[in-house]
């Protein structure tokens, strides 16, 4: 189960990156990165998963005294939350860039953004 | 073609790295020391029932502050980017008016959604959810309104003020932690309250509320900026 | 002191506060931004003060009231404090610099700037790996925002490419972080030590984190995006990117380096050096100023990365080195980026517009000197310590790479400086006083940093050296008229000599005499210049200060520092010539190359010790001695322009200003001789593979003399002729020293004095003539004897003295020379030096004939004698030569006595008026008396016979029964020694020039070819990054 | 060493002897050359007539100071060279002013006259003078090479730079002359000697047979007289050096007369037998033949 999730995550990263580095259209490229980001998040969550345990929320189901034996690792979950938000921010920024590039250059083809080189 | 082949080769290489990671991975049999610490001490340290919330808001509060800042930053930059392009955007063709169903539905739903969002971030320290989730839900209300009436004018000022005031308050709470409790973003500046109740866990609900407002405002701001491009 | 975390709080608070502001209150918003950055800087500076001079303990800052690793913690030690100061100050200064654009873009842009600075500060302080990621992302996103401030449309593309790369890096980083957490159960960097050794994915995790962090330092070749950003972004932001982001990334690598274990060190070193050399190489081909600065930034960051890799090897000097390089780089690069904001055009040659403002030139020179690690800036101490440290740990090859990279960097940076000083300048820079003040403040900060590094390092603080301070004082006097400054300069030289007169030993005395009083005499000629002559006096005094420091230097560090000082001063001086741009460049590159050889030599000799006295050169172990000797001798011989290393000299000396040529020829060349003498004094003559190295020097000296003289004979340009003659003369001097006997040294020392006198004199005369005729081509002159008799007399006396014809003092040198070689067994080089002897007559005669004799040209008929102030020193020299001819005992006897303490045997005996050696004798007074007696008698006879002779007109000559009327066709001057050229022209093949042209040509070719790698396509950059990671993993594979 | 004024008188006497000897010898040798060419040749006293004639001629012309001083330099060079070298071995009286310096002084004093003459000729402004100087300097400097190296070989051989001591070392029979102890050095030096004598085949500098060319082109009357005087002293002075260095010196005036005559005859003989070299040819000649010989001589020691 964990392994499957992990593998899926890695696969998503590779898939997303493949899109991101082969597609010329900026929007598709951004979608590629989004997929890769998702894969990354999946990997992170999987790493924190302990088989047979429950979410790290205390209460009636998991009294604080037995928490150590019942819950999964809360840290990756916290990290993933942060990572998701950051990924969102970057995606928004890239989209804004894409829009602006389209507005000024009239193209969404990344290979036509080669004015700066060498 | 060559390009694809190169991309393929590179990703295959990266895949090998991932394969090695995958093969070497073994789930922990028990909690590692950090997780163990959180499992055992969250309640006494912070009084929060949702350990993830405690980790996010308190233990890794600096991350979260940064995270909020990321959204703030993105909102600011997106506004900058899109505003900079005003001159280029010519008149756009008019739109079809939105349907009656959507109109009426949104009148009903928007307050509910907003209320739900507030619930989610106010209970973040007790149940799954929190400021980000709540904020996102609030922003979805915003989205709904935008869909209903793209031409509608929203008060940028209000959004910006909400965004900034909550951000400032967040920083102020962080500094208060230094002055009154154990360090920056220490939640124990407020009474711990009774475990499991809504007014517990020190400053966590307050911070989550601020985050919720801020995130909601920031998402709204981004959506607004994007949609105004469409006008 | 408030906690350092308030830097983050202030930044964020201010950014949020900006959100509250109304549109249209941009000025207020900017004030708030500046205020916040000021407060952040104040906190950073405060902590630096507490941790540095205050000696406070490292500050651990916990958050959330919980101990690490369970909550995020921050740390501020000395390193962090330095980085924080640089980041916050760079932010503050950029906010001021970018005022106009920030006002235009509004409060959001200011918020982005604040967050960028805050994020960089966070990267520096945090000890939590994931928190590091968050701050990196903040920095990346704000970079994406700041790029938009640029007016350059291409900035959009650059920003997008940057984000592509940033995405990939962040994915790698996240995967690495989560697996590192999985392995250690902690996110705290302090818990990661030795992580690589743990099983599971730990090694790979470490690798991914390291790869991501290293990618943030923009390593070659995965750095195309960075270069595009540098080129396109607003220079104010590029300053932050270079000074701040680079610093933060390096600190991050430094923090995490412990996790990688020992295997990581060589990888970092290798990557760093690869980046350093490659980026510098590619920099050679750049013409866009900001892209050039980008390449340079990348290179410098690479160097520091390499230093981080060598942390263990460098031991306690690590901080001094890394910090020195980092601070020097940050200040200089930020300053240059801000300067580039003042320059309109983007081509390097457009910087000529700076020239109108001496203050800006001063700033630029300061920045370039800091980048190149010249004294007295931090990079100088750092480079010295680095080379010593590397040598001590057996990293000789690394030293070679560092020095080669540095030399290439010097190549393009100083070429750029040459453009600035010499190219066509359009209108002056339109800079507001605030912008000017900012750039100047940064430059002064550079000097301040130099002072600090001098104080904290284990070496002497150069900014405490009186000679250097005196020279720098002339910077402050530069607003005065040239003549006032000239008086001050002469007074300073004479005063300096008088002050230290008593402490010199005779060897030092000879050099001191030609440096200080000798320099003062040449400076007399400078009185002819009117106006302010901005820049001349600081440069000249810098050179003199370097020379004065050189001869009294006790430690290898002091010696090297003095060497660099005199190189820098003379470079600026030579660059002043009208057409000297390429020549000054080749001069300074050869000099720096030589200096690097010297530095490497000293490092090798000292075995890495920080304080190494010159006298300790004598104790260098036998296995090392020859190599030390070779390196040092090579360095010194670049200055004396020995064969093969000589190609810089003719241009540099010929194109220099009239009063500069004698300084650089008469005085500066002696620095190399002094070095060689000190070297042999201490080390004697080591052998390598059974060959005595001084024997090699004999050959070098002899060949230099031959080629120098021969080429001089074929010059049409009078000053080039003198310049080649200097090469030949230095060959003689090297030969003399390399003989390693009493008389050889005596000859060399006499040469030091004689060459100073007659070369200064000849350069002044020729310079005066060139000034009047407006050309240096001799065949365009002719017949000037009647118009410029004093100059003629000076040249006449000069060439008689120089050719060694009795009865003038030059003969003394020859006489000692022959006696000296009588003792030597080395006959083959002796033959070569014999061959070169008579050739001197050829060029000397040509000099006087083509200029002063023969037919006067029509356009020259109205010329006057050279200006009084140029003639005056010539007359002083003439008088001195005549006196010295009769009583060479003036200096000779004392020196002879001194040399007896070094070479007790085969000295001279002083027998009344006659000087005796083991082989022969010489009585200067008798020679003079007899010659004068005969001459007077014969003259009397002629006057008796011919006393009514009248001067006839110009063309009254026997000319195949015709009266020629065209002086151009009648003046036999061009290609004067045609038969000689026919017979020996094959020796003139410019092998050395061809060789060095080939070296520079292939470097440029390689640069131009290799840089096409950066295609400008964002996806290609992504390939580079992925490829970089994979190759790295292949390399590290075994190690981790 | 105290200076005695009587030395001036001895010097003048030496000068007188050498001048007359030179005048006669050159005439004799010229006559011999003419006879060899089946011509009658000049009268033996012809040189006296020429010299006197030129001394008596008055000129009102000068091209400038250096022009005026040129011949003075030239003659001073010749006389000085003669007087700085001991003429007769073993005689304090005929050692003249050799206490002023050793062999090196003599070697370098040669250039005193050359330089002055070249300067004087240069100021005359005549292109052919300058041309001659160019040729002359090119040729003399390359002819000087084998000579200088050979001289140095000799100095090394005898471990002294003092002419007197070099001669002293060659006493005791013909076989102890340098000619036999170091034949290569002597051969090289003799090649240099030919070059510096400005006689055929190395006489393109002056090219006396054609239109006036060479440094003396513009010199006439008294100027020329000084040059002519020098032309009779300078070669003898030079031969004296050769004689002292390579041929055992001369212990008395008769020996002096014979040795100088024979040495001079060598150059004359070569001149008759060989065609004229262009300058670049002679430069190459000295480098290809003279220098290697000299080097062998140097290593011979």
Substitution target in C1, C59, C63 with the highest count of B β-carbons within 10 Å is C63
Residue B48 CA, distance from chain mean position: 19
Q: Do B27 and A68 touch (CB under 8 A)?
A: no
Angle at C51 between CA C48 and CA C52, to 5 degrees: 75
Who wins on pLDDT, D290 or B224?
A: D290
Interatomic CA distance for residues C539 and C523, integer angstroms: 13
Residues in chain A whose Cβ is within 8 Å of chain C: 13, 17, 20-22, 24, 26, 29, 33, 36-37, 40, 43-44, 47-48, 75-76, 79, 82-83, 86, 89-90, 93-94, 97-98, 100-101, 104-105, 110-111, 113-118
Q: Which of residues 5-34 of A touch B (CB under 8 A)?
A: 6-7, 10, 13-14, 17-18, 21-22
Distances (CA, A) of B144 to B72, B106, B129, C16: 22, 7, 21, 27
Q: What is the chain C residue with the closest CA to B57?
A: C64
| Chain C residues inside the 8 Å CB shell of D149 | 831, 834
Q: Which of residues 24-43 of B touch C (CB under 8 A)?
A: 24-26, 28, 32-35, 37-38, 41
Distances (CA, A) of C17 to B165, B170, C32, C50, C110: 8, 12, 9, 30, 11
Other C-beta atoms closer than 10 Å to the C-beta of B107 total 12
Domain boundaries, chain B: 51-85+97-230
- pLDDT band (50, 70, 90) for residue A83: very high
Residue pair B59/C70 in contact by the 8 Å Cβ criterion: yes
- Provide the pLDDT for residue D207: 66
Q: Do chains A and D touch (3 or more CB pairs under 8 A)?
A: no
End-to-end CA distance of chain B: 41
Q: What is the DSSP string of C436-486?
A: HHHHHHHHHHHHHHHHHHHHHSSS--GGG-HHHHHHHHHHHTTTS-HHHHH
Residue B91 has pLDDT above 50, yes or no: no
Among candidate residues C177, C73, C67, the one with its CA nearest the CA of residue A75 = C177
Q: Do C942 and D72 touch (CB under 8 A)?
A: yes
Element (DSSP H or E) covering residue C916:
strand C914-916
Q: What DSSP state is assigned to residue D177?
A: S
| Chain B residues inside the 8 Å CB shell of A56 | 38-39, 50-52
Which residues pair with residue C909 across a beta bridge?
Answer: C916
Q: What is the chain B residue with the closest CA to A19?
A: B7
The two three-digit tokens of residue C812, written as one number: 């003394």
> CB of D158 within 8 Å of any CB in chain C?
no
Spelled out in words, what is the top-level CATH class assigned to the domain A2-50+68-112?
A: mainly alpha
- pLDDT band (50, 70, 90) for residue B85: very low
Among candidate residues C686, C882, C892, C856, the one with its CA nearest the CA of residue C798 = C882
Interatomic CA distance for residues C487 and D166, integer angstroms: 56
Q: Do A50 and B4 touch (CB under 8 A)?
A: no
- pLDDT band (50, 70, 90) for residue B90: very low
pLDDT, mean of each 10-residue run, chain D (301 residues): 78 93 91 86 90 85 89 93 91 86 89 88 86 87 89 91 91 88 92 84 72 76 90 92 91 92 88 83 89 90 79
- Provide the pLDDT for residue B46: 81
Interatomic CA distance for residues D212 and D207, integer angstroms: 8
- Provide the pLDDT for residue B230: 57
Q: How many helices (H) and strands (E) does chain A have?
A: 4, 0
Quick check: helix, strand or coil at residue C613? strand
> CB of C893 within 8 Å of any CB in chain B?
no
> CB of C803 within 8 Å of any CB in chain D?
yes
Domain boundaries, chain A: 2-50+68-112
The two three-digit tokens of residue C572, written as one number: 């600026």
Residue B89 has pLDDT above 50, yes or no: no
End-to-end CA distance of chain C: 43
Quick check: helix, strand or coil at residue C786? coil
Q: Is the backbone peptide bond immediately before C221 cis, with ω within 30 degrees of 0? A: yes
Q: Which of residues 78-117 of D touch C (CB under 8 A)?
A: 79-80, 83-84, 97, 99-105, 108-109, 111-112, 114-115
Interatomic CA distance for residues C346 and C409, integer angstroms: 19
Tokens 């001496």 sit on residue: C358
Burial class from Cβ neighbours inside 10 Å (0-12, 13-18, 19+) for residue A69 reads exposed
Query: What is the per-residue pLDDT across D170-228, written as a single tens digit (0 to 9) for each?
Result: 988 888 899 999 999 999 999 999 888 877 788 887 765 555 667 888 888 889 899 99
pLDDT, mean of each 10-residue run, chain C (1040 residues): 88 89 86 95 93 87 85 90 93 91 89 94 93 94 89 87 94 93 88 75 86 92 91 91 92 85 84 94 92 94 93 87 93 93 89 89 95 93 92 88 94 94 81 86 94 90 92 92 94 94 89 94 93 92 95 93 94 93 94 95 85 86 91 94 91 92 93 93 88 92 93 93 94 92 89 90 94 92 91 92 84 88 86 86 90 89 92 94 77 82 84 84 89 93 86 78 77 87 85 91 93 90 93 73
Q: Do D134 and C800 touch (CB under 8 A)?
A: no
Chain A to chain C Cβ contacts (< 8 Å): 118
Of the candidates C144, C181, C1019, the beta carbon closest to that of A75 is on C181
Other C-beta atoms closer than 10 Å to the C-beta of C104 total 12
Interatomic CA distance for residues C919 and C898, integer angstroms: 21
Residue B182 has pLDDT above 80, yes or no: no
Q: What is the DSSP string of C112-139?
A: HHHHHHHHHHHHHHB-BHHHHHHHHHHH
Q: Do C71 and B21 touch (CB under 8 A)?
A: no
Q: For residue C322, which phi and psi values (nearest 5 degrees)? A: -60, -45
Residue pair A84/A39 in contact by the 8 Å Cβ criterion: no
Residue pair C338/C443 in contact by the 8 Å Cβ criterion: no
What's the average model confidence in pLDDT over B72-99? 67
- Provide the pLDDT for residue B88: 42
Q: What is the DSSP string of chain B?
A: -HHHHHHHHHHHHHHHHHHHHHHH----SS--HHHHHHHHHHHHHH--SBHHHHIIIIITHHHHHHHHHHHHHHHHHHHHHHHHTGGG--PPPP-PPPPHHHHHHHHHHHHHHHHHHHHHHHTTTTSS--HHHHHHHHHHHHHHHHHH-TTPPP-HHHHHHHHHHHHHHHHHHHHHHHHHSSSBT-GGGS---STTSSS-STTHHHHHHHHHHHHHHHHHHHHHHHHHHH-
Residue pair D67/D120 in contact by the 8 Å Cβ criterion: yes
Residue pair D292/D153 in contact by the 8 Å Cβ criterion: no
Query: What is the per-residue pLDDT across B31-64, written as a single tens digit (0 to 9) for each?
Result: 888 888 888 888 788 888 888 888 888 888 889 8
| Chain D residues inside the 8 Å CB shell of C819 | 104, 161
The two three-digit tokens of residue B97, written as one number: 């008016």
Quick check: helix, strand or coil at residue D268? helix
For chain A, give the mean pLDDT.
89
Domain boundaries, chain D: 6-300
Residues in CB range of D40: below 8 A, 6 or more apart: D34
Among candidate residues C785, C761, C754, the one with its CA nearest the CA of residue D119 = C785
Interatomic CA distance for residues A58 and B126, integer angstroms: 8
- Provide the pLDDT for residue C689: 87
Of the candidates B6, B18, B61, the beta carbon closest to that of C64 is on B61
- Provide the pLDDT for residue C699: 94
User: Is the ipTM reported for this complex over the cut 0.85?
Assistant: yes
Burial class from Cβ neighbours inside 10 Å (0-12, 13-18, 19+) for residue C249 reads buried
| Chain A residues inside the 8 Å CB shell of C145 | 93
Buried b / exposed e over C279-313, threshold 16 CB at 10 Å, is bbbbbbbbebbbbbbbbbbbbbbbbbbbbbbbbeb
């Amino acid at each position: 189960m964990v392994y499957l999730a992990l593998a899926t995550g890695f696969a998503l990263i590779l898939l997303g990156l493949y899109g991101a580095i082969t597609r010329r259209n900026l929007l598709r490229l951004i979608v590629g990165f989004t997929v890769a980001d998702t894969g990354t998040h999946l990997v992170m969550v999987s790493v924190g998963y302990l088989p047979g345990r429950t979410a790290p929320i205390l209460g009636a189901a998991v009294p604080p005294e037995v928490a150590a034996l019942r819950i999964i690792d809360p840290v990756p979950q916290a990290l993933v939350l942060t990572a998701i938000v950051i990924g969102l921010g970057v995606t928004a920024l890239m989209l804004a860039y894409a829009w602006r590039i389209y507005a000024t250059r009239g193209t969404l083809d990344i290979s036509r953004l080669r004015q700066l080189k060498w | 073609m060559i390009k694809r082949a190169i991309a393929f080769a590179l990703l295959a290489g990266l895949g090998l790295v991932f394969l090695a990671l995958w093969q070497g991975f073994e789930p922990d049999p028990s909690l590692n020391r950090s997780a163990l610490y959180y499992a055992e001490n969250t309640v006494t340290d912070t009084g929060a029932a949702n350990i993830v919330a405690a980790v996010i808001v308190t233990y890794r509060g600096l991350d979260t502050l940064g995270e909020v800042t990321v959204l703030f930053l993105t909102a600011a930059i997106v506004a900058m980017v899109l505003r900079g392009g005003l001159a280029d955007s010519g008149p756009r063709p008019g739109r079809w008016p939105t349907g009656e169903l959507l109109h009426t539905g949104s009148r009903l739903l928007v307050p509910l959604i907003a209320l739900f969002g507030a619930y989610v971030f106010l209970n973040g320290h007790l149940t799954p959810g929190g400021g980000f989730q709540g904020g996102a839900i609030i922003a979805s209300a915003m989205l709904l309104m935008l869909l209903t009436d793209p031409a509608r004018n929203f008060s940028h000022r209000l959004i910006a003020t909400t965004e900034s005031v909550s951000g400032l308050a967040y920083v102020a709470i962080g500094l208060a932690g230094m002055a009154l409790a154990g360090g920056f973003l220490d939640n124990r500046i407020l009474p711990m309250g009774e475990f499991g109740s809504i007014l517990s866990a020190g400053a966590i609900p307050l911070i989550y509320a601020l985050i919720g407002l801020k995130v909601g405002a920031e998402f709204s701001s981004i959506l607004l900026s994007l949609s105004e491009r469409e006008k | 002191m408030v906690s350092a975390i308030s830097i983050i709080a202030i930044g964020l608070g201010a950014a949020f506060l900006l959100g509250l502001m109304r549109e249209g209150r941009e000025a207020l918003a900017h004030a708030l931004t500046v205020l916040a950055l000021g407060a952040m800087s104040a906190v950073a500076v405060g902590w630096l003060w507490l941790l540095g001079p205050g000696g406070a303990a490292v500050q651990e800052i916990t958050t959330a009231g919980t101990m690490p690793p369970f909550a995020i913690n921050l740390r501020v030690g000395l390193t962090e404090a330095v980085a924080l100061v640089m980041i916050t100050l760079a932010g503050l200064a950029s906010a001021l610099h970018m005022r106009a654009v920030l006002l235009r873009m509004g409060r959001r842009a200011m918020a982005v700037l604040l967050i960028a600075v805050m994020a960089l500060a966070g990267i520096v302080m945090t000890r939590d790996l994931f928190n590091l990621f968050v701050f990196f992302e903040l920095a990346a996103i704000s970079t994406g925002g700041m790029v938009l401030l640029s007016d350059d449309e291409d900035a959009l593309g650059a920003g997008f490419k940057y984000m592509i790369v940033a995405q990939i890096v962040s994915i790698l980083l996240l995967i690495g972080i989560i697996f590192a957490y999985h392995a250690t159960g902690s996110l705290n960097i302090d818990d990661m030590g030795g992580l690589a050794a743990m099983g599971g994915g730990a090694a790979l995790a470490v690798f991914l984190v390291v790869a991501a962090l290293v990618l943030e330092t923009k390593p070659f070749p995965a750095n195309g995006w960075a270069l595009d950003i540098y080129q396109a972004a607003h220079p104010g932001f590029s300053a932050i990117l270079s000074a701040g982001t680079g610093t933060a990334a390096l600190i991050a690598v430094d923090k995490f380096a412990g996790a990688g274990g020992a295997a990581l060190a060589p990888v970092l070193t290798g990557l760093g050096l690869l980046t350093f050399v490659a980026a510098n190489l590619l920099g050679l081909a750049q013409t866009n100023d900001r892209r050039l600065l980008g390449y340079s930034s990348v290179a410098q960051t690479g160097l520091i990365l390499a230093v981080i890799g060598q942390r263990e090897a460098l031991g306690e000097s690590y901080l001094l080195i890394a910090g020195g390089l980092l601070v020097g780089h940050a200040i200089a690069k930020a300053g240059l980026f801000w300067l580039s904001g003042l320059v309109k055009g983007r081509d390097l040659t457009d910087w000529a517009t700076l020239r109108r403002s001496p203050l800006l030139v001063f700033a630029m020179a300061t920045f370039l000197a800091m980048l190149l690690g010249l004294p007295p800036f931090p990079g100088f101490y750092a480079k010295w310590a680095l080379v010593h440290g590397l040598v001590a740990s057996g990293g000789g090859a690394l030293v070679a790479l560092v020095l080669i990279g540095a030399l290439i960097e010097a190549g393009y940076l100083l070429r750029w400086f040459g453009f600035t000083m010499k190219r066509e300048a359009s209108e002056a820079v339109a800079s507001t006083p605030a912008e000017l003040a900012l750039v100047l403040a940064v430059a002064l900060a550079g000097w301040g940093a130099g002072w600090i590094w001098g104080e904290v390092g284990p070496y002497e603080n150069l900014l405490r050296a009186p000679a250097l301070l005196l020279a720098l004082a002339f910077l402050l006097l530069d607003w005065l008229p040239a003549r006032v400054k000239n008086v001050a300069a002469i007074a300073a030289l004479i005063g300096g000599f008088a002050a230290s007169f008593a402490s010199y030993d005779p060897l030092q005395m000879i050099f001191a005499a030609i440096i200080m009083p000798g320099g003062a005499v040449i400076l007399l000629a400078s009185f002819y210049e009117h106006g302010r002559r901005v820049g001349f006096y600081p440069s000249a005094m810098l050179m003199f200060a370097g020379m004065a420091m050189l001869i009294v230097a006790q430690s290898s560090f002091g010696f090297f520092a003095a060497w660099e000082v005199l190189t820098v001063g003379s470079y600026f001086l030579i660059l002043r010539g009208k057409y000297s741009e390429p020549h000054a460049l080749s001069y300074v590159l050869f000099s720096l190359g030589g200096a690097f050889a010297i530095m490497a030599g000293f490092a090798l000799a000292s075995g890495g010790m920080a304080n190494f006295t010159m006298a300790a050169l004598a104790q260098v172990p036998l296995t090392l001695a020859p190599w030390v000797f070779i390196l040092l001798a090579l360095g010194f011989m670049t200055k004396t322009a020995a064969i093969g290393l000589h190609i810089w000299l003719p241009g540099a000396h010929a194109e220099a200003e009239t009063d500069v040529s004698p300084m650089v020829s008469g005085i500066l060349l002696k620095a190399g001789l002094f070095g060689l003498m000190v070297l042999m004094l201490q080390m004697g003559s080591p052998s390598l593979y059974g060959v005595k190295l001084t024997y090699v020097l004999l050959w070098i000296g002899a060949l230099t003399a031959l080629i120098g003289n021969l080429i001089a004979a074929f010059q049409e340009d009078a000053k080039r002729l003198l310049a080649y003659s200097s090469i030949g003369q230095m060959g003689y001097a090297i030969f003399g020293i390399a003989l390693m006997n009493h008389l050889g040294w005596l000859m060399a020392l006499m040469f030091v004095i004689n060459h100073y006198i007659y070369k200064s004199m000849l350069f002044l005369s020729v310079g005066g003539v060139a000034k009047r005729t407006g050309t240096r081509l001799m065949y365009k002159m002719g017949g000037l004897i009647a118009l410029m008799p004093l100059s003629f007399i000076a040249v006449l006396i000069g060439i008689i003295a120089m050719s060694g014809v009795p009865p003038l003092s030059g003969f003394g040198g020859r006489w000692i020379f022959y006696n000296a070689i009588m003792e030597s067994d080395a006959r083959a080089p002796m033959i070569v030096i014999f061959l070169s002897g008579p050739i001197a007559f050829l060029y000397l005669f040509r000099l006087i004939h083509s200029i002063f004799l023969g037919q006067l040209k029509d356009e020259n008929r109205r010329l006057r004698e050279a200006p009084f102030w140029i003639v005056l020193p010539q007359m002083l020299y003439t008088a001195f030569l005549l006196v010295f001819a009769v009583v060479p005992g003036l200096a000779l006897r004392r020196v002879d006595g001194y040399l007896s303490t070094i070479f007790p045997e085969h000295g001279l005996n002083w027998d009344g008026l006659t000087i005796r050696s083991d082989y022969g004798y010489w009585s200067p007074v008798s020679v003079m008396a007899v010659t004068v007696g005969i001459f007077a008698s014969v003259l009397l006879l002629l006057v008796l016979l011919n006393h009514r002779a009248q001067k006839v007109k110009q063309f009254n000559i026997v000319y195949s029964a015709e009266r020629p009327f065209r002086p151009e066709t009648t003046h036999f001057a061009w290609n004067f020694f045609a038969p000689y050229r026919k017979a020996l022209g094959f020796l003139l093949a410019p092998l050395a020039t061809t060789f060095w042209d080939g070296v520079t040509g292939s470097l440029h070719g390689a640069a131009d070819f290799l840089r096409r790698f950066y295609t400008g396509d964002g996806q290609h950059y992504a390939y580079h990054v992925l490829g970089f990671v994979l190759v790295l993993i292949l390399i590290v594979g075994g190690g981790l | 060493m105290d200076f005695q004024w009587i030395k001036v008188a001895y010097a003048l006497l030496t000068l007188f002897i050498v001048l007359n000897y030179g005048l006669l010898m050159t005439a004799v040798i010229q006559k011999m050359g003419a006879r060899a060419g089946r011509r009658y040749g000049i009268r033996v006293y012809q040189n006296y007539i020429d010299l006197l004639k030129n001394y008596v001629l008055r000129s009102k012309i000068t091209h400038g100071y250096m022009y005026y001083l040129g011949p003075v330099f030239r003659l001073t060079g010749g006389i000085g060279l003669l007087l700085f070298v001991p003429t007769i071995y073993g005689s304090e009286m005929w050692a003249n002013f050799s206490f002023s310096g050793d062999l090196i002084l003599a070697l370098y004093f040669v250039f005193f006259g050359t330089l002055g003459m070249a300067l004087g000729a240069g100021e005359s402004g005549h292109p052919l003078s300058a041309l001659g100087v160019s040729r002359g300097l090119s040729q003399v400097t390359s002819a000087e090479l084998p000579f200088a190296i050979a001289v140095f070989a000799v100095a090394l051989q005898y471990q002294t730079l003092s002419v007197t001591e070099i001669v002293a070392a060659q006493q005791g029979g013909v076989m102890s002359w340098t000619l036999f102890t170091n034949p290569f050095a002597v051969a090289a030096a003799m090649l240099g000697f030919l070059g510096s004598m400005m006689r055929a085949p190395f006489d393109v500098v002056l090219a006396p047979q054609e239109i006036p060319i060479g440094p003396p082109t513009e010199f006439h009357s008294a100027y020329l007289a000084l040059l002519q005087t020098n032309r009779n002293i300078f070669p003898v002075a030079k031969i004296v050096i050769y004689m002292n260095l390579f041929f055992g010196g001369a212990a008395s005036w008769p020996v002096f007369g014979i040795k100088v005559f024979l040495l001079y005859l060598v150059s004359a003989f070569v001149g008759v037998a060989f065609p004229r070299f262009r300058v670049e040819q002679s430069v190459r000649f000295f480098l290809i033949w003279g220098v290697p010989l000299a080097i062998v001589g140097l290593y011979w020691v």
